[in-house]
């Protein structure tokens, strides 16, 4: 049984779907959820699905090895960033080579990088679409390996959706979330299978 650890900063709707997807499978399971925000809804979601969940602060992630030691004890086969908004530290990346993936709510390399997360991505996509009404604009999801730079690692999967003239940042977010729910768990399963 492969072991998945999820990092998330906020709501955790993707984390919930990933936990539920693997709950009834025999090949992998979400064993832990970690958040940089002690009030994040993702912690409640995980606990109510009987997955152990902890929060940590900046010092534990960047200045000490507390989070690294926790991960060493948990022995994940895959670390999944599902709405994790802090830069992932180099020392953890080098400890888990090819074992950390992230989902980004747009079609990288467009609309990525520092500060491009969550609603800021959808606002930028919406503004871009409105500025070029004669052109079809697409957005979507990108699942990629994590490197020490934001949104730069090898791309494993992308899926797109059209942005229409009447779309708002909120409606774009809803479309993108639906793509995430439809594809992210299966991409995780495929990636784990490809590594065994
Ligand atoms: C997701 O849309 C994810 O792609 C995005 O945060 C959202 C979290 O939603 N991630 C980023 O923007 C990372 N740069 P959720 O907490 O409901 O799963």
CATH of the domain at 9: 3.40.50.170
Across the range 14-29, mean pLDDT stands at: 97
pLDDT value at residue 159: 98
Q: Which residue in this structure is represented by tokens 């948990």?
A: 74
Digit-coded pLDDT (tens) for 72-128: 999 999 999 999 999 999 999 999 999 999 999 999 999 999 999 999 999 999 999
Banded model confidence at residue 25, pLDDT cuts 50, 70, 90: very high
Report which protein residue has its CA nearest ligand 1's atom 3.
83
pTM beyond 0.85: the answer is yes
Distance 129 CA to ligand 1 centre (A): 21
**What residues make up the domain containing 91?**
2-194
Instruction: Enumerate residues lining ligand 1, CB below 6 A.
Output: 8, 10-15, 82-83, 103-105, 117-118, 121, 176-177, 180
Nearest by Cα to 54 from 67, 63, 65: 67
Digit-coded pLDDT (tens) for 163-191: 998 999 999 999 999 999 999 999 999 99
Q: Is 80 exceeded by the pLDDT of residue 196? A: no
Give the number of domains in the chain.
1
Report which protein residue has its CA nearest ligand 1's atom 10.
83
Nearest by Cα to 53 from 13, 101, 8: 8
| 99's tokens | 């074992």
- Mean pLDDT estimate for the chain: 97
In whole angstroms, what is the distance from residue 34 CA to residue 157 CA? 24
**Active-site residue 104, yes or no?**
yes
Across the range 145-167, mean pLDDT stands at: 95
């Amino acid at each position: 049984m492969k072991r998945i650890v999820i990092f998330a900063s906020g709501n955790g709707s993707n984390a919930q779907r990933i936990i539920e997807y693997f709950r009834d499978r025999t090949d992998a399971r979400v064993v832990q959820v970690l958040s940089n925000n002690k009030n994040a809804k993702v912690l409640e979601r995980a606990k109510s699905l009987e997955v152990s969940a902890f929060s940590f602060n900046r010092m534990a992630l960047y200045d000490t090895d507390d989070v690294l030691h926790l991960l060493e004890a948990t022995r994940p086969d895959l670390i999944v960033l599902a709405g994790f908004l802090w830069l992932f530290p180099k020392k953890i990346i080098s400890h888990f080579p090819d074992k950390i993936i992230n989902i980004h709510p747009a079609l990288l390399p467009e609309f990525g990088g520092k500060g491009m997360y969550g609603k800021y991505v959808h606002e930028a996509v919406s503004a871009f679409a409105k500025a070029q009404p004669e052109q079809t604009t697409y957005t979507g999801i990108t699942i990629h390996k994590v490197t020490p730079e934001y949104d730069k690692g090898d791309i494993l999967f992308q899926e797109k959706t059209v942005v229409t003239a009447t779309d708002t940042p909120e409606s774009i977010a809803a479309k993108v979330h639906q793509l995430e729910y439809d594809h992210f768990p299966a991409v995780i399963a495929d990636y784990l299978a490809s590594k065994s």
